[in-house]
Amino acid sequence: MTHLPYIGFKWHLNQEGERMKTVHGKTQIFPYVIHRIYNRVPGQVIDYGVQLINAPIVWKETRGEGVKVAVLDTGVDIAHPDLAPNIKGGYNFLDRNDNYADNHGHGTHVTGIIAGTDNGVGVVGVAPRTDIYALKVLDENGEGSESHVIEAIDWAVDNRVQVLNLSFGSQKPNGKLRSVIEKATQAGIVFVAAAGNDATKTVSLDSIDYPARWSDLVITVAAVDRNIKRAPFSSQGPELYLAAPGVDILSTYPRNRYVRLSGTSMAAPHISGAVALILAAARKKSIPNVKPSDVRKVLVKNAIQLGDHNDYGYGFFRF
């Protein structure tokens, strides 16, 4: 494991006190912990999460070439050297223009986990050559309207995107949002959603947020640490599908920086990147008409059972 020097500052968010009250019709990023912000990292790092899911093994066959992944989030730092080669487009649904720059940081971090480029510096993502589309649906506070999320999903369908990463949620369901996810799934899009970070707020095993709670439509992802143990904050419930690394994850950050964050928001993009590799491998082998249900079967086949389904779903995904 590469040990990184501390460069920057340390900031811990309170998992309980910093969570904003969810208002119906609104969606927001989950609370998360910022461990360290780095102005640089020495050389190039393949973080422990990418290694734990065995992504480098698949790189011998494919690195995600030709697969379109959309990140519905706070935007992306389009100038970041670890991201720029893979960013192929996007849209700002808040201001209705092509400026999808990240004025928060969350979207840039999520994007780096999926597709940080293998360029000799910084970090390498799970699928380092996949095509990224940044769909900005959340503002500088990490909040947005579910109507913008719906528009972004329609955009993804129209632009033939294959994978959508949803590292945000709401505590209330939205029928229109579910309908558009259903339509997009029928069109062949694979949805990956963070389960939420509400486990510390309830004693019940039923704390998963929407849209992750719709596990019949989305791949719902819990967070584990480097020892593959459930993160204390990771939401629990029968809707969980898979577990992936989500504690102290190193990835990209605005202004050419890097940061270690914890949250199920970090676990979901590990699976989104894995899905990109699966689809790219199928494309390379000329396997036609790969459906979301087919991808689910591959993911479950490669899941290592860890314990209670309410904690880990079908288990920890590893190639």
What is the CATH classification number for the domain harbouring 140? 3.40.50.200
Q: Quick check: is 106 catalytic?
A: yes
Mean pLDDT for the stretch of residues 255-268:
97
Q: Does residue 10 sit within a domain?
A: no
> Does residue 5 have a pLDDT over 80?
no
Higher pLDDT, 178 or 207: 178
pTM over 0.85? The answer is yes
Q: Does residue 143 sit within a domain?
A: yes
Q: Quick check: is 265 catalytic?
A: yes
Tokens of 180: 């558009």
Mean pLDDT for the stretch of residues 198-221:
87
Q: Does residue 268 sit within a domain?
A: yes
Q: Does residue 11 sit within a domain?
A: no
The per-residue pLDDT for 13 is 29
Of the residues 47, 73, 82, 209, which is catalytic? 73
Average predicted confidence (pLDDT) for the chain: 91
Q: Does residue 231 sit within a domain?
A: yes
The per-residue pLDDT for 17 is 27
Q: Does residue 4 sit within a domain?
A: no
Task: In whole angstroms, give the CA distance from residue 255 to residue 133.
Answer: 19
Task: In whole angstroms, give the CA distance from residue 124 to residue 250.
Answer: 10
Mean pLDDT for the stretch of residues 61-77:
98
Number of alpha carbons in the 13 Å side-chain half-sphere of residue 33: 17
Q: Quick check: is 262 catalytic?
A: no
Of the residues 106, 109, 148, 270, which is catalytic? 106
> Does residue 203 have a pLDDT over 80?
no
Q: Does residue 40 sit within a domain?
A: yes
H-state helical runs in 164-263: 175-186
Q: Does residue 17 sit within a domain?
A: no
The per-residue pLDDT for 205 is 76
Residue pair 265/30 in contact by the 8 Å Cβ criterion = yes
At a CB cut-off of 8 Å and minimum separation 6, what does 100 contact? 75, 76, 78, 90, 91, 92, 134, 135, 136
pLDDT tens across 144-156, in order? 999 999 999 999 9
Of the residues 167, 207, 262, 265, which is catalytic? 265
Higher pLDDT, 206 or 182: 182
Its domain, for residue 59, covers: 26-317
Residue 20: which pLDDT band, with cuts at 50, 70 and 90? very low
Q: How many domains does the chain have?
A: 1
